[in-house]
Amino acid sequence: MTFGIAKTTSKTMLALLLVSFTLLSCIQANVFYGCEAALRVNRRSGNYQIRGKKDGGIAEAKCRVEKSNIVTEIYPKAIPNTFVSGYQDAFSYEFKVDYGNFTNSDMTDFLKSVNYNCYQKFNYTEANSYWANNKFKFWDNSIFLLNDAISDGICQCVISDVCEKSGSSLSSCKSLSPYTDTAEYTDFGKFAVKKEKLPLKKVYFGDTDSKAEYIYYTVHNLVCSTTSQPKVNTLYPQSCLLKVEDKLFDFNNNTCFDIVNNLTVISFEFLMEVQEILITIENGECSDITVFLEKTLTSQSYIKPCRYFVKTSASTLTLIVEKVGLQLCEMEYIYK
């Protein structure tokens, strides 16, 4: 009996060791080279740690898809709804915003990788703090006073919501507030600076010394969007060096890929599972194309453009085209 217990215990120990080893290796392996890699491996949206290069800084990010785009949301290291009070002099409260431990060059590399296609929102709530005492520094070190951001032509107020709502770039902060000058008001929206200046690097606030004067602020995620193309393989004819993707994914219905073989087989490897695919063709009918997902025939509708509904969860798709002269013009898809 004792022997039995000892045996069980050592087995349990072994199992525990294995579990902790697995957990440990999971944690170590859990940093991805960007959201595309994180999504490709995990196949679902979620929070991941990302870095741009080997030994580079690491940031926490929410990785998700929007139609066929990859969206990277980098979390700032800042507490939501930070309360600022007791700072009398202009700009005397300072807070530097970090994004994980991304260095300047890590951030620059990241921004380049997403073509600077980003925005960032900010919630600025205040009562009685004089706006000329408050300013914002952005990643390129440019500085804007709260109510003097017009040099980029987007909005007078550094938070662009007032201008988006009024339709005029000359709207001041708090111009939409229904309250009188002294009451608490909120400006919440996207930063009114050119995309190349993002993200926010530092805030400087002041005039919050008396009890009736205070600021609450929240730095929101840096949200960046980029397209992702599936990997394309031409299975047949193998001899041809076909650049199908250049014409299928250029968002242009007028550039088409000509089918010159009696039998053309092309496979697509998507980043994640897709739920719907739309193919625009010329000189043919949707029925000239057979679509397989892994090994299952996909349900399809035959009204142009050809719409294919993906029933089973799949990220690999194969097209078989048997009509010479048919042109494949555009492929659009929606991720699950």
Ligand X SMILES: *[C@@H]1O[C@H](CO)[C@@H](O)[C@H](O)[C@H]1NC(C)=O
Chain contacts with ligand X (rule: CB under 6 A): 57-58, 81, 101, 123, 125, 186, 188, 216, 251, 253, 262, 280, 305, 324, 330
Nearer to ligand X, 3 or 251 (CB): 251
CA 249 to chain centre: 19
| Residues 6 or more apart whose Cβ sits within 8 Å of residue 188 | 121, 122, 123, 124, 159, 161
Q: Which is nearer to ligand X, 123 or 142 (CB)?
A: 123
Q: What are phi and psi of 93, to 5 degrees?
A: -90, 125
Q: Which is nearer to ligand X, 125 or 283 (CB)?
A: 125
Q: Which is nearer to ligand X, 251 or 302 (CB)?
A: 251
CB-nearer residue toward ligand X: 140 or 282: 282
The helix/strand/coil state of 36 is: helix
Closest approach of Cβ 301 to ligand X, in Å?
13
Task: State the minimum distance, in angstroms, from the CB of residue 115 to ligand X.
Answer: 19
Report the residue number, 193 or 248, with the smaller CB distance to ligand X.
248
User: Count of CB atoms within 10 A of residue 153's CB?
Assistant: 9
Q: How far apart are CA 82 and CA 84, in angstroms?
A: 7
Shortest spacing between CB 7 and ligand X, in angstroms: 40
Dist CA 321 CA 329 (whole Å): 13
Closest to ligand X by CB, 150 or 258: 258
The arrangement of strands across the sheet holding 231-236 comes to: 231-236, 264-269, 316-321, 289-293, 296-297
Minimum distance of ligand X from residue 69's CB (angstroms): 14
Cα separation, 310 vs 292, in Å, equals 10
CA 228 centroid distance within chain = 11
**Distance of closest approach, residue 84 Cβ to ligand X, in angstroms:** 11
| Cα angle 156, 159, 161; round to 5 | 95
β-partners of residue 218 are: 123
Nearest approach, Cβ of 165 to ligand X (angstroms)? Answer: 13
CB 150 within 8 A of CB 139: no
Q: How far is the CB of 151 from ligand X (least distance, A)?
A: 26
Please say whether the beta carbons of 248 and 288 come within 8 A.
no
Annotate 138-160 with three-state secondary structure.
ECCCCEEECCECHHHCCCCCCEC
In this complex, which beta carbon is closest to ligand X, that of residue 125 or of residue 142? Answer: 125
CB of 128 to ligand X, least distance (A): 15
